[in-house]
Copies of this chain bind each other. A is one copy, B any other.
Amino acid sequence: MAYGRKLRMGLVGGAGGFIGQVHRMAAALDGEVELVCGAFSSSPEKSRAAGEALYLAPERVYASYQEMFSRERERDDAMDFVSIVTPNYLHAEIAIAALRAGFHVLCEKPMTTDLASAKQLADTVAETGKRFCLMHNYSGYPMVKEARARIRNGSIGELRKIVVEYPQGWLAGDFASAGVKHQSWKLDPELSGGSCCLGDIGTHAFHLTEYVTGLRVAELCADLSVFVDYKPLEDDANILLHFASGARGVLYASQVSINDENSLAFRIYGSKGGLEWHQEEPNTLVAKWPDRPREIIRTGSGNAYLTPAALGTTRIPAGHPEGFVEAFANIYLEFGRAVRESAAGTASDEYDFPSVIDGMREVAFVKTAWESQRSRKWLPLPGV
């Protein structure tokens, strides 16, 4: 593959919160990427401090993403791609700027907070021919990929019922609590795009649903709630789903489900069998059959019964738990492959990471859910 060296990564954002650290760990894990520069904060001081803590060369720690893009493109050893981990409302403008400056982009979800900028970003990807990856890390777990592969090969038959849930409890308390404060932009309608729970975690659940099943949501009926009153945005969402195929589903997400940590899970039932997965025990996939015992399918490089989709994204033997960072790193690996193949001129049409089109669908999902809530009606999800 191209380059013959580690890919060079720049980072926008990431001085606060934990997601920046996760991106750095995931990028570093497999020795395929090195962080070479960053604009870590809108505060130049914070950005400089972050760069120093990361042992970066001081001249490659920038005060703004604009500065970073313009200075890096002049270097012989310029970054190859940029990862964007800022608050949601900045994703689109930075991504568009990066693409236009000639850099591939890996962007945290949600891609944008409105359909217009989503469309603009999609157009920019098409125009520039650069690689764009939307970070839905949960699709990086080997057992998620195993489930997807099994559904694709028909092992559980025609899909009938899908239950996807994503309960969390971190917004159940009052605003002053520490866990809430440092992510307070999520609660500001201007900055978060008019949605809290759906934008933050509902989009993960929605993407995971479509990714694993291969189905497309055709219409939905949403019931959104605000339980904790300091904020105008929903902290709980229960949504009925109709898929284009005729399958039915329930998707719910919540930030007031006390003590549920990050309990994303799916249960998918087909005409021949079922599959169940829980993110908090990510190395196990349960396969259900009508006439024989359920099976406990496990991540692990030695488990020869796994599909290539899982074996190719598992790093170590069974029983050595692979976690959140490894799943995240799988997205980086696949994105890195696309970047290298792009440089080599061998790029394929399809890579196994979320695309700009996936990002558009999830923006439409959030918008439609809110419209359904306001009208108390079933509404179609606009085709993308």
- B293 close to A161 (CB less than 8 A): no
Return the contact of A31 from the options B35, B269, B298 (Cβ within 8 A): B35
Residues of A259-284 whose CB lies within 8 A of B: 259-263, 267, 269-274, 279-283
- B18 close to A301 (CB less than 8 A): yes
In the complex, which residues of chain B have a beta carbon less than 8 angstroms from the beta carbon of A297? 293
The distance in angstroms between the C-alpha atoms of A309 and B308, with both chains bound, is 39
The answer to the question of A257 belonging to the interface, with a C-beta cut-off of 8 Å to chain B, is yes
**Interface flags, A147-180, vs B, CB<8A=1, else 0:** 0000000000000110101011110110000110
The distance in angstroms between the C-alpha atoms of A325 and B320, with both chains bound, is 8
In the complex, which residues of chain B have a beta carbon less than 8 angstroms from the beta carbon of A242? 223
**Interface flags, A65-103, vs B, CB<8A=1, else 0:** 000000000000000000000000000000000000000
- A295 close to B298 (CB less than 8 A): no
- B319 close to A305 (CB less than 8 A): no
Cβ of A48 to closest chain B Cβ, rounded Å: 15
In the complex, which residues of chain B have a beta carbon less than 8 angstroms from the beta carbon of A271? 172, 227
Q: Tell me if A's interface is mostly helix, strand, loop or mixed.
A: loop
- B317 close to A262 (CB less than 8 A): yes
- B323 close to A258 (CB less than 8 A): no
The distance in angstroms between the C-alpha atoms of A256 and B247, with both chains bound, is 12
The answer to the question of A204 belonging to the interface, with a C-beta cut-off of 8 Å to chain B, is no
The answer to the question of A304 belonging to the interface, with a C-beta cut-off of 8 Å to chain B, is yes
Cβ of A74 to closest chain B Cβ, rounded Å: 24
The distance in angstroms between the C-alpha atoms of A83 and B262, with both chains bound, is 35
The distance in angstroms between the C-alpha atoms of A295 and B258, with both chains bound, is 13
The distance in angstroms between the C-alpha atoms of A280 and B269, with both chains bound, is 19
In the complex, which residues of chain B have a beta carbon less than 8 angstroms from the beta carbon of A302? 170, 178-179
The distance in angstroms between the C-alpha atoms of A29 and B25, with both chains bound, is 5
- A290 close to B259 (CB less than 8 A): yes
- In the A-B complex, the 3 residue pairs with the closest CB atoms: A261-B319, A262-B319, A259-B288
Other A-B pairs, 8, CB within 8 Å; known A258-B269, A262-B320? A223-B248, A227-B271, A259-B288, A259-B290, A261-B298, A287-B293, A291-B305, A293-B295
Can you report 13 A-B residue pairs in the complex whose CB atoms are below 8 A from each other? A25-B31, A28-B28, A161-B257, A169-B274, A172-B269, A179-B302, A221-B240, A256-B269, A258-B288, A260-B319, A291-B304, A295-B295, A295-B296
